[in-house]
Amino acid sequence: MDELLGWCVVANVAAVDLKHFSAGTKLWVLPPQWGDGGQDLVVVGRHRGSPGPVSQMVVPRVHLTNFRVRGVYQPAVHRQLTKPLRRKELGQWASKEEAEKVVEWWARDAAIYEGVNRPLQRAELYYRLADVRPGHVLQQWAIQDVMNPKLPLEIGAVFRDRQEVEAIRELRELLDTIETGGVANWRNNELWPVVGQVAEKIRALLSR
C-alpha cells in the first residue's frame, strides 16, 4: 500500500464550470489561509481539458460541493498541496479530526448556497438570523439585514421558493409591529419569542 502523506479535504466543482476546472472535477482543498473564513480556497486538481499533472489554483468556496476527508497518497498531489503560493508557505490540515470538523461547517454552507444567484448574501442572512432577538451583540445589524429594502425577494436571487419569501415577510411584519410599539416596550415585547421561532424556521428553510 502507498504511504499516507497526510489528510486533506476533497470536494467537487458544483454545477457551474470554472475558468480552470470543469463541473464535477475532484479537487484537493487546503484549509483557509487568509482569515476570511475560507471564502477563497487553495485547491489542487487537474486543469480542465488537460490529461496532464494536477496544478494549484485559488477558487471561491461557493463553487464547491460534496466536501469529505480523504488521505493523500499521491506524491504529485502532495507536492502541489505543499508548494508555496506567491512565495508564502501554505497552512496544511493539522489532523483528520480538524478536517472533519471544518467539513461539517462547509457542507452546511454548501447546502445554503445551492440554487440561487447570490449565494454569499443568502449565507450571510442565514447566520444573521441567529442574532435578531434581544441580548445578541449583533442584533442591530441582524435586523438591518432582514429589513434591508435592497434584499431581493424575487425567487432565484437569494431565496429558492415562495415558502422562503413568505417566511421572511412574516418576520418583517413581526419586527415592524415591535418597532411600532415604541422604545419603552422594545426589549420586553411579547412578540420576541415568536420572532425567534420564525427566524429559526427561516434558517431551517435556507439550509435544506
pLDDT for 111-170, tens place per residue?
898 889 898 899 999 999 999 988 888 999 999 999 999 999 999 999 999 999 999 999
Same domain (yes/no): 101, 18: yes
Q: Tell me the HSE value of 166 on the side-chain side, using a 13 A CA sphere.
A: 3
The predicted model gives 156-185 an average pLDDT of 94
Residues above pLDDT 90, as percent of the chain:
69
Same domain (yes/no): 84, 134: no
Query: Could you tell me if residue 1 is inside a domain?
Result: no
Total domains, the chain:
2
pLDDT for 24-74, tens place per residue?
899 999 999 987 778 899 999 998 776 778 999 999 998 899 999 999 999
Q: Which of 70, 68, 69, 66 is nearest to 14 (CA)?
A: 66
Same domain (yes/no): 106, 130: no
The predicted model gives 62-90 an average pLDDT of 93
Query: Could you tell me if residue 200 is inside a domain?
Result: yes
Range of the domain at 166: 119-206
Same domain (yes/no): 13, 96: yes
CB count in 10 Å sphere of residue 170: 15
Same domain (yes/no): 109, 125: no
Three cell numbers written together for 131: 442574532
Same domain (yes/no): 129, 199: yes
Q: What is the pLDDT of residue 91?
A: 94
Same domain (yes/no): 13, 108: yes
Which among 113, 135, 162 is the end of a domain? 113
CB count in 10 Å sphere of residue 100: 15
Same domain (yes/no): 127, 85: no
In this predicted model, which residue has the larger pLDDT, 18 or 199? Answer: 199
